[in-house]
Amino acid sequence: MTELIKKNIIKHIALSEEETEAFCSLFQQKLIGKKSFLLRAGEICRFEGFVNKGLFRVYHIDQNGFEQILYFAAENWWITDIDSFTNGMPSQLYIEAIEDSEVLLISKKDKEFAYTNLPKIEKLFRVMTQKTHVALQRRMIDNLSKTADQRYLDFIEKYPELFQRLSNLQIAAYLGISHEFLSKIRKKIAGQK
């Protein structure tokens, strides 16, 4: 059950077998069906999660009822609303399973416990937060500088396996365009080949 998360951790930092085991024992498994929610806007996010199986989307719904997808999380990715989780504020985000999924969850209390008793865990989350920050920074630059066509092509190239598992509605919400326009982009690209 915890092989994947163990591999994920030791990819980031050096940790002994005992430390890894101690940390992983703090997680609880949760099964979550397609279209079910791990978190809804308005709730306080009380967990940090690791996706063992399945696929999630993390999104926001704006005043006009439009979805913006912040990111997708498939196997081997972490999910949380870091804002709500760390500040104890109501979340602005929805975390929804796109496929039948399995996550490992750690509570805030147990995470604090880990920070105190397994000091290297502090480094683990610093390093992971840095990495996700770098990724978001790159996406921000791309969104500011690239056209929707290019962002779509980049997406396919960067996440080919994700691309297979997602509807165009979801990809459009991630790219920040209407699904009708995505449809037109797809047609244009198909014609070019």
In the complex, which residues of this chain contact its own copies (CB under 8 A)? 60, 62, 64, 66, 68, 70, 82-83, 86, 92, 115, 119, 122-123, 125-126, 129-130, 132-134, 136-141, 143-146, 176
42 vs 32: CA distance, rounded Å: 20
Residue 133 partner contact from its own copies, DNA, none using kind-dependent CB cut-offs of 5 to 8 Å: its own copies
Cα Rg, the chain, nearest whole Å = 18
102 vs 65: CA distance, rounded Å: 29
Judged by CB under 7 A, the residue of 28, 112, 180, 189 near DNA is 180
Options 55-63, 89-97, 102-110, 144-152: segment touching DNA (CB under 7 A): 144-152
Buried b (16+ CB within 10 A) or exposed e, 139-174: beeeeeeeebbebbeebeeebeebeeebeeebbbbb
Q: How far is the CB of 60 from DNA (least distance, A)?
A: 15
Tokens of 19: 């430390």
Judged by CB under 7 A, the residue of 55, 148, 161, 192 near DNA is 148
Is 36 a residue that touches DNA (CB under 7 A)? Answer: no
